[in-house]
């Protein structure tokens, strides 16, 4: 069937890339800038872009839903424009969907996260159509592989399992 693409932002892109790349079915990742207003964004000039990650995955081995579940496990989606010590618009939580199916999965996953009580507040993750993705400079790619003691504010939360909400029952009028 080939591969699919996901674009996410959840704080500093180094930690996101380091954890997501290890997931079964993830074929490739790259970090960059997305969701903002500056063409040809760079680290020094990225305007309102978020630090993001582009993920290429094999849908026969993992699902978009599973990627989003892991995304919500490794970052705090309830803090606007912040992850750990990183603050500002660049560090917001966002899902940039590539088609309507991804949008629907994103919205359903967010509803499940909110209903689960796994986080102490409501999800503030932005859901928006994907736009240009400006690849970050080489020194930002694979950063934590090259510098294993480098900074990260992302981690796998043990025993964090997102239950799916029960489907809504239809009123038959009987």
Q: Which residues are catalytic?
A: 12
Hey, how many other C-beta atoms are within 10 angstroms of the C-beta on 163? 10
| Helices assigned H by DSSP within the chain | 13-20, 64-74, 100-116, 143-146
Of the candidates 108, 32, 34, the one whose C-alpha atom is nearest the C-alpha of residue 68 is 108
- The percent helix, strand, coil of the chain (3-state, each to 5) is 25, 25, 50
Packed helices 13-20 and 64-74: angle between N→C axes, nearest 10 degrees: 130
**Three-state SS at 125:** coil
- Spatial strand order of the sheet with 133-135 comes to 126-129, 93-97, 4-10, 50-57, 26-34, 133-135
CA distance 28 to 144: 15
């Amino acid at each position: 069937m080939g591969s699919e693409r996901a674009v996410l932002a959840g704080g500093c892109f180094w930690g996101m890339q380091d954890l997501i790349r290890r997931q079964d079915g993830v074929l490739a990742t790259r970090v960059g800038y997305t969701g903002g207003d500056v063409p040809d964004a760079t680290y020094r000039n990225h305007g309102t872009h978020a630090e993001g990650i582009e993920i290429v995955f094999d849908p026969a081995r993992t699902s978009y839903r599973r990627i989003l579940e892991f995304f919500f496990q490794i970052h705090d989606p309830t803090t606007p424009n912040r992850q750990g010590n990183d603050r500002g618009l660049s560090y917001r939580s966002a899902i940039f969907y590539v088609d309507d199916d991804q949008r629907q999965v994103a919205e359903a996953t967010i509803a499940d996260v909110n209903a689960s009580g796994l986080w102490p507040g409501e999800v503030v993750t932005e859901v928006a159509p994907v736009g240009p993705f400006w690849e970050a400079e080489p020194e930002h790619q694979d950063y934590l592989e090259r510098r294993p003691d480098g900074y990260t504010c992302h981690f796998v939360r043990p025993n964090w399992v997102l239950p799916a909400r029960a489907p809504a029952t239809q009123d038959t009028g009987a």
